[in-house]
């Protein structure tokens, strides 16, 4: 029989951290981050990494697994998360996956297969450099030549996805569109190795954008600029995979004297809002999420947790393996 897994997803600033900790206390659970950038050591403020005091004694995994200069690929991430899920189950506890990054979440929920065999990030960094130097359109034209289906589906401005598709083709000789079609069928058939319950935290768009702006201001007051500067002064290149994270890439022009701090902050807020919009779009196309409008509960963590427990309580009556205290 499949073992239980709880997923709490939602855009940045939707309250995933506090809700997951509260739920973990109720379920005797442990938390695994599904954020592709929280795996990097030292990238704390810009990734909104949970603070030790916010954990409230609940074990958290997939934090500080890699150095920013090393890079971390999806296959490594998936294997580590699956191992943590198995270890949590072995202790008789409930794993709670919290994210974050849609591509990474689906890789875990539906056991996505990855055929990449090359852990050298040189190609990825070269493609990022090409986009910076010659523009995103030229990079997108390159994708059109080798994988027209993916090129049609991916906007040129979504540089990460364009590069991921090119990288996949270079490493496997196959278009990523054919791979994605096979994996999509798994999602449509709900073919998951886990008995999962998927909660999606959402809110009104204007409320979300306001919370994002406030969060960026809070990050700045906590020392975000100094955090990014430490990587810049350590010689980490702007095209390093980790430094492409929102909250980091925006400040490199400021350090080089090419832009004002004010303009960099405005770009950071804009990029974060755009990313949150993409996260909301992704959530709407996933299989069987339970949407929770957190603004309707005035972001009250206890009330939001009660809603999640009500869903899980119904599942428990249907012989779910999740134990509610």
Return the percentage of the chain with pLDDT > 70, whole number. Answer: 91
Question: Which 8-state DSSP code applies to residue 50?
Answer: P
pLDDT at position 315 is: 52
Beta strand 29-33 with 194-202 is unpaired
Number of structural domains in the chain: 2
Which residues on adjacent β-strands are paired with residue 31?
Answer: 60, 96
Q: Domain check: are 253 and 285 in the same one?
A: yes
CA pair distance 68, 71, nearest whole angstrom? 6
Mean pLDDT of all residues in the chain? 90
Q: Are residues 105 and 128 in the same domain?
A: no
Per residue in 89-107, pLDDT (tens digit) is 999 999 999 987 888 898 8
pTM for this predicted structure = 0.81
How far, in Å, CA of 68 to CA of 248, rounded? 11
301 part of a folded domain: yes
Residue 286's pLDDT band (boundaries 50, 70, 90)?
confident
Same domain, 8 and 62: yes
Burial 52-63 (b: 16+ CB within 10 A, else e): eeebeebebbbb
pLDDT at 211 over 70: yes
Here the CATH number for the domain that contains residue 167 is 1.10.20.140
Residue 5: the pLDDT is 96
Burial grade of 170 (CB within 10 A; 0-12, 13-18, 19 or more): middle
Instruction: Specify whether 21 is located in the same domain as 63.
Output: yes
Domain annotation covers residue 187: no
Q: Check which CATH number belongs to the domain holding 214 and give it.
A: 3.40.50.300
Q: What is the dihedral of CA 195, 97, 35, 231, to 10 degrees?
A: -140
User: CB neighbours of 3 closer than 8 A, spacing ≥ 6?
Assistant: 89, 194, 195, 321
Task: Please report whether residue 182 resides in a domain.
Answer: no
pLDDT in tens, 236-266: 988 888 999 999 999 999 999 999 999 999 9
Residue 26 reports pLDDT greater than 60: yes
Residue with token string 């009250």: 300
Q: What is the pLDDT of residue 249?
A: 94
What range does the domain containing 219 cover? 3-115+195-317
**Domain-embedded: residue 181:** no
């Amino acid at each position: 029989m499949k073992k239980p897994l709880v997923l709490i997803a939602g855009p940045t600033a939707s309250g995933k951290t506090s809700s997951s900790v509260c739920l973990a206390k109720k379920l005797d659970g442990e938390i695994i981050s599904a954020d592709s950038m929280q795996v990097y050591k030292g990238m704390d403020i810009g990734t909104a990494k949970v603070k030790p005091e916010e954990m409230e004694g609940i074990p958290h995994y997939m934090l500080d697994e890699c150095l920013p200069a090393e890079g971390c690929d999806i296959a490594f991430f998936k294997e580590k998360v699956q191992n943590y899920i198995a270890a949590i189950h072995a202790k008789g506890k409930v794993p709670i996956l919290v994210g974050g990054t849609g591509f990474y979440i689906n890789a875990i929920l539906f056991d996505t297969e990855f055929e990449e065999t090359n852990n050298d990030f040189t190609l990825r960094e070269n493609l990022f450099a090409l986009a910076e130097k010659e523009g995103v359109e030229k990079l997108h034209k390159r994708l059109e030549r080798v994988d027209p289906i993916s090129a049609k589906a991916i906007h040129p401005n979504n540089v990460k996805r364009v590069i991921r598709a090119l990288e996949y083709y270079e490493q496997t000789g196959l278009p990523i569109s054919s791979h994605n079609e096979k994996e999509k069928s798994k999602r449509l058939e709900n073919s998951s190795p886990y008995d999962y319950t998927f909660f999606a935290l959402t809110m009104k768009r204007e409320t979300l954008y306001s919370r994002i702006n406030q969060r960026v201001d809070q990050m700045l007051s906590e020392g975000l600029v100094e955090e990014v500067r430490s990587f810049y002064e350590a010689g980490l290149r702007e095209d390093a995979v980790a430094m492409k994270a929102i909250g980091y890439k925006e400040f490199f022009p400021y350090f080089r004297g090419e832009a004002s701090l004010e303009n960099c902050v405005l770009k950071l807020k804009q990029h974060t809002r755009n990313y949150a919009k993409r996260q909301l779009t992704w959530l709407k196309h996933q299989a069987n999420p339970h949407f929770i409008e957190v603004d309707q509960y005035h972001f009250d963590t206890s009330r939001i947790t009660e809603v999640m427990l009500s869903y899980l309580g119904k599942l428990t009556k249907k012989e779910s393996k999740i134990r509610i205290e």
